[in-house]
Structure 1
Amino acid sequence: MLIPFLIMLREGLEAALVVGIIASYLRQTGRQAWMPAVWIGVFLAAGVSLLAGAGLQFASAEFPQRQQELFEAVVGFLAVGMLTWMVMWMRRAAANMKRELTVALDQAFDRHRQHGWALIGMVFLAVAREGLESIFFLLAIFQQSQGALAPLGALLGIASAALIGLALYRGSLRLPLGHFFRLTGLFIVLVAAGLFAGSVRALHEAGVWNHAQQVVFDLNHVLPLDTPLGSLLAGLLGYQPAPTLSDVVAWLGYLLFTTCLLLTRRAAGSAAARQTRAGVQS
Structure 2
Amino acid sequence: MFFVPFLIMLREGLEAALIVSLIASYLSRTGRGHWMGAIWGGAIAAALLCFAIGWGINETTGEFPQKQQELFEGIVALVAVVMLSYMVFWMRRVAGNSKEQMQQAVDRALSGTSQQRQALALILMVFLAVAREGMESVFFLLAAFQQDVGAAAPAGAITGLVTAIVLGFAIYFGGARLPLRAFFRWSSLFIIFVSAGLAAGAIRAFHEAGIWNHFQGIAVNLSQVLSTHSLAGTLLEGLFGYQETPSVSEVGIYLLYLIPALLLFFREPRQSQPRGAKALSS
Q: What TM-score range do you get, normalising by the shorter chain?
A: over 0.9
What's the offset of the Cα at 1:112? 4.6
What's the offset of the Cα at 1:119? 0.9
Q: Which amino acid aligns with 1:225?
A: T
The one-character-per-residue Cα deviations of 1:30-80 (angstroms, maximum 9, x if unpaired) are 212111111110110011101111121122111100000000000000000
**Root-mean-square deviation (Å):** 1.3
CA distance in structure 1 between the aligned counterparts of 2:113 and 2:105, rounded to whole angstroms: 12
Question: Residue 110 of structure 2 aligns to a residue in which SS?
Answer: helix
Q: Which amino acid aligns with 1:75?
A: V
CA distance in structure 1 between the aligned counterparts of 2:112 and 2:5, rounded to whole angstroms: 40
Q: Does 1:210 align with 2:195?
A: no
CA distance in structure 2 between the aligned counterparts of 1:261 and 1:136, rounded to whole angstroms: 23
Structure 2 gap ranges (5+): 273-282
TM-score by length of 1: 0.92
**Aligned pairs for 1:66-215 within 5 A:** 66-113=67-114, 114-215=117-218
Structure 1 gap ranges (5+): 271-282
Does the 8 A contact of 1:78 with 1:136 survive in 2?
Answer: yes
What's the offset of the Cα at 1:268? 4.1
Q: Which amino acid aligns with 2:14?
A: L
The one-character-per-residue Cα deviations of 1:191-218 (angstroms, maximum 9, x if unpaired) are 0000000001000111111111111221
TM-score by length of 2: 0.92
What's the offset of the Cα at 1:269? 4.0
Change (3 A) 1:36 1:67: same
Aligned to 1:223: 226
Does the 8 A contact of 2:96 with 2:271 survive in 1?
Answer: no
Aligned to 1:13: 14
Does the 8 A contact of 1:19 with 1:123 survive in 2?
Answer: yes
Task: Number of aligned residue pairs: give it.
Answer: 269
Structure 1 or 2: more helix by fraction:
1
Change (3 A) 1:101 1:112: farther
CA distance in structure 1 between the aligned counterparts of 2:97 and 2:229, rounded to whole angstroms: 46
What's the offset of the Cα at 1:248? 0.8
What's the offset of the Cα at 1:259? 2.3
Q: Which amino acid aligns with 1:108?
A: A
Aligned to 2:30: 29
Moved more, 73-82 or 95-104: 95-104
